[in-house]
Amino acid sequence: MTKFQYADLHCHPNLKTFGQSFSGKDDPKSDLWYTKKPDAFTRKIYEKTGVTKFSQTDFTTMSKAKGKIAFVSLYPFEKGFFHNPYVWPVLAAQLANWGIEIGYKRIRHIQGHKDYFEDLKKEYQFFIQGKKEQVVEGVLQKWKAVKSNQELGDVMKADNGIAVIFSIEGAHVFNTGLEDYGRPIDQDEVFSNIQ
């Protein structure tokens, strides 16, 4: 009998953790394995509003659920989510952080930067440099960014591994969509970033 396993075709174990890494301190919430079971209040907020104040795809949760393949989407948030002409930027950052908990300093960084591609590279580096293993329910679990069918097969055969395949979300990551923030589209730069 084959054990149940699954692949998550689009997940973000990095959104909240990468965001928390901007705090400038060694925050346990900036660990890809960090998990916190939502309390009754947090679950109610989610049920009523759809606002997710907890990670749904951290590696601890994936390990417990027998996840074997994670298509991890790297996603530099679009600046427009955190800019509102009617709300002071600091207040907008505080409200957004309360809602999605990616970190106040991360939101302030998003509000101020003018380079999605650099943000994408920082998120990728954060992930690659993250902790590769963790004991979960008494078993050493691991994740690996796979680069071939052979590596994928090796992880699939192991009882304690998650294969990570990276993707990106949104063509803005190549530095489009910044015209309203003072950076016109440069076609050569976009093609260079794609390359």
Q: Compute the average pLDDT of residues 55-75.
A: 92
Residue 102 lies in a domain: yes
Please provide the average confidence, as pLDDT, over all residues in the chain: 91
Q: What percent of the chain has pLDDT over 90?
A: 74
- Euclidean distance between CA atoms 107 and 72, whole angstroms: 21
Question: Tell me, what amino acid is at 49?
Answer: T
CA 56 distance to own-chain centroid? 11
Checking 49-52 for CB contacts under 8 A at 24+ apart, the result is: 51/99, 51/100, 52/100
- Euclidean distance between CA atoms 29 and 34, whole angstroms: 6
Give the number of domains in the chain. Answer: 1
Residue 180 lies in a domain: yes
Convert the pLDDT of each residue in 141-171 to its tens digit: 999 999 999 999 999 999 899 999 999 999 9
Q: What tokens appear for 165 in the block?
A: 């395949």
Structural domain of residue 42, as residue ranges? 6-194
Residue 101 lies in a domain: yes
Q: Compute the average pLDDT of residues 29-58.
A: 82
Residue 1 lies in a domain: no
Alpha-helical (H) ranges within 55-195 are: 59-64, 89-100, 104-112, 116-128, 149-157, 187-194
pTM: 0.89
Residue 105 lies in a domain: yes
For 32, other C-beta atoms within 10 Å of its C-beta total 24
Per-residue model confidence (pLDDT) at position 110: 96
Contact of 76 with 116, CB cutoff 8 Å: yes
